[in-house]
Structure 1
């Protein structure tokens, strides 16, 4: 599944923006774009879970 969001790197941190959600983490030894992809996937899955709970698990 593809997700579209934005990210920026400030210092040693990656900040990901997707819809109304913002998530950040330090990238350490990993490439910032890889960490951004992980964060974006995490945010999108979180929103999908919220959506399923709001509809009672029906798709």
Structure 2
């Protein structure tokens, strides 16, 4: 799967982590907090996306 993800600066990444932690402190599950912050980033991001490729096949070791 190929998807475009926002390229965040270190400071923006730190802000996202702090927002996730704040939501979790309010009682939200980690998955819900991550999903909410990711959605907020997608809605508010003004820069160009960075193409990412995800391999969906499980690799056995």
* TM-score under structure 1 length normalisation: 0.43
Q: Which is richer in helix?
A: 2
Greater RCO between the two (CA within 8 Å, min separation 6)?
2
> Larger C-alpha radius of gyration, 1 or 2?
2
Normalising by structure 2, we get a TM-score of 0.42
